[in-house]
Structure 1
């Protein structure tokens, strides 16, 4: 394993770091000011579109997609340090580079499993950053951590499918630019193979029977970076049969293909969030005095900073190893490592951000620093894309199998 950055990665890192310093960090406060003046909190601040235009001009666009036909053609190992940098400003940077969830996962699904018409109608405008999208899987009435529980029905009726169900925490759905849902539901609810009961289908937002019922908050935040999270009702929404993604019964496999890269992308960005927290912690420590000396001279602060640095270095190596394995032996071959980083990274980053909040006192929980919002985002990732306990269960069973 060689994790040294190659020439292309170094070039893109340098460009991206400069882009962050010159454009993204200054835009954070501007975006908040502009959002306060928007007609709807879900409208996109003008500065975000300016960032997107500049990122595209600089060639910092669609870096996440390894398919060179549609994206930058980077490997996971090449993309990892770039995603980490964007994680330092998760509300702006991923969107600016057209590398924000849930669009990234949806573009991966369409590029791998969509037919030519689906790619032309939906993938191309997503790649161009002209529209946004949502992935509708989680449901309020069932434990959606077990995807076989999903109750949404996708029923064939002649040349159409009829979609009926209730979803929630559907990321991106509040954004008025969200034009398409990828919906997971059951086409064969009584099938013998519980992993062949599900299918995925494309449902345009303006389809009769589709209602975005309400916005769902996360720790009180509306999470504008992802276009919000929504409860969405599909009430006998009819779409052409050609909107089916892949084949009937292929939804579970498509979901697994989508979630693997999604999980590592989250972990890459989480490391960037931890680095931002460490930076803020250090700046605060050297600028504040308490009980006659700088916070930076307090022993407990030394421990927090040292432990945070050790943790980040460990996490980064595990994420890079996972990226390398995904590139060399595929997602299946990296299954243990993908689950390991999904368990370890959010948990550790939450702790680092929590220490940074503690060091900032009241400022840490305020809107004047990004720490509270970083905490909410990191803590959510202990649930999103499969809660920790599901990954722990699977990982433990794989370990135990060696001895049974």
Structure 2
């Protein structure tokens, strides 16, 4: 097991780091200030398109694409999960990082769904402009009326009707729905309540402007709306789309979800290690620059130990994510079920604690938008529920851990 970046990965890592240092980091504060002061913040500022054009021109584009797809099509960088990890970590340090390289969620996960499960027609219509950065997308799975931690509770429906399917239901926390370039959503709903519990649901591609699709409101997360992407509550009222928009076939929703969520979870964790690294850097800089009671903050109240423990926690998390990435590369998602749940349960919590420590060292300023820490904390805390709450992942881990003991007891 060797986590040394390949030559290809190291080359792109350095190029990404340089681009972020020279093009993204110097413009981020002005970008956020302009966006938040705009009368309508649900817009794409010119800077974003300028940065994306520069990144694509330099070949820094679509790094997330599966290695097999890159090798077959010549698109992307042809990186394994282990190779992608250091790039995603650097992107995660800044709000605009994933966006400018066309590696932002939920588009990455939706693109992988189309790559692995979409028809040729679906890929041409939706995947092609997504990979070109021309459009954006959203994923509609979570529902407000049921405990969505158990996806089999899903009440929204996908009902076949001749050459069409008809969708009804209410979704929320549909990430990306507020973006002005969001052109389609992937909707998951119940098709056959009498089928096996993992063969009841269906995923459908739905153009956002289809009659009956209504964005009711954008949802704040600790007061942050995450413009211009956002997390929306969306209703589907007798939404009719062609049956050809069904992905992979009726009843395939859970199969697709398992294939989609594995890479999505690890990509989130890669980025949040970068966010935790940036928070630690900000904390150390603040603690060394500020003085209280005649001493630098770094020498007060156990702050050195807090910094040391943050370094240990980040390094542990990075190694755990790399191990999971290696398992995905060598054994596929079903060979890393426990490990994917482990990082999903541990990495956001680690980032949350490191960011919280950094906020404390910034005093009142850490609670404001003068620093990126409050928004980072909201993101880390919310990720502990996105893609499944901690408790669900702990349940998966314990079930896998206990299985051999249960089998042994049954044999004896």
Report the TM-score when normalising by structure 2.
0.96
CA distance in 1, matches of 2:362, 2:329: 40
Preserved CA contact (<8 Å) 1:145 1:387: yes
Structure 1 pair 244–345 and aligned structure 2 pair: CA distance change class (3 A): same
Structure 1 pair 22–218 and aligned structure 2 pair: CA distance change class (3 A): same
CA distance in 2, matches of 1:302, 1:35: 36
Residue in structure 1 matched with residue 410 of structure 2 by the alignment: none
| Count of equivalent residues | 401
Shift of 1:38: 4.1
Which of 163, 169, 181 is equivalent to 1:177? 181
Shift of 1:297: 2.1
Identify the range of structure 1 (385-394 vs 182-191) with the bigger mean alpha-carbon deviation.
182-191
Secondary structure at the counterpart of residue 164 of structure 1: strand
Residue in structure 1 matched with residue 164 of structure 2 by the alignment: 160
Preserved CA contact (<8 Å) 1:144 1:150: yes
Structure 1 residue runs without a partner (length 5+): none
- Which digits, 9 at most, give the CA deviation of each residue in 1:351-398, with x for residues without a partner? 110000000000111111000000000011110001000011111111
Shift of 1:188: 0.8
Shift of 1:400: 1.2
Shift of 1:7: 0.8
Matches of residues 367-382 of structure 1 in structure 2 within 5 Å? 367-382=369-384
Shift of 1:402: 1.4
Matches of residues 282-293 of structure 1 in structure 2 within 5 Å? 282-293=284-295
- Which digits, 9 at most, give the CA deviation of each residue in 1:210-248, with x for residues without a partner? 1111101111000126x1110000000000010000011
- Which digits, 9 at most, give the CA deviation of each residue in 1:253-296, with x for residues without a partner? 10111000000001001100110011001100110001001112
Report the TM-score when normalising by structure 1.
0.97
Residue in structure 2 matched with residue 352 of structure 1 by the alignment: 354
Root-mean-square deviation over aligned CA pairs: 1.0
Shift of 1:36: 4.1
Secondary structure at the counterpart of residue 245 of structure 1: coil
Residue in structure 1 matched with residue 296 of structure 2 by the alignment: 294
Whether 2:106 is the aligned partner of 1:92: answer no
Residue in structure 2 matched with residue 64 of structure 1 by the alignment: 64
- Which digits, 9 at most, give the CA deviation of each residue in 1:291-348, with x for residues without a partner? 0011122251101110000111111111000001100011111111111111111111
Preserved CA contact (<8 Å) 1:356 1:371: yes
Residue in structure 1 matched with residue 226 of structure 2 by the alignment: 223
Residue in structure 2 matched with residue 268 of structure 1 by the alignment: 270
Whether 2:191 is the aligned partner of 1:196: answer no
Identify the range of structure 1 (295-304 vs 133-142) with the bigger mean alpha-carbon deviation.
295-304
Which of 60, 66, 82 is equivalent to 1:77? 82
CA distance in 1, matches of 2:77, 2:235: 36
Secondary structure at the counterpart of residue 73 of structure 1: coil
- Which digits, 9 at most, give the CA deviation of each residue in 1:68-106, with x for residues without a partner? 0243221000000100001111x2110111111000000
Secondary structure at the counterpart of residue 224 of structure 1: coil
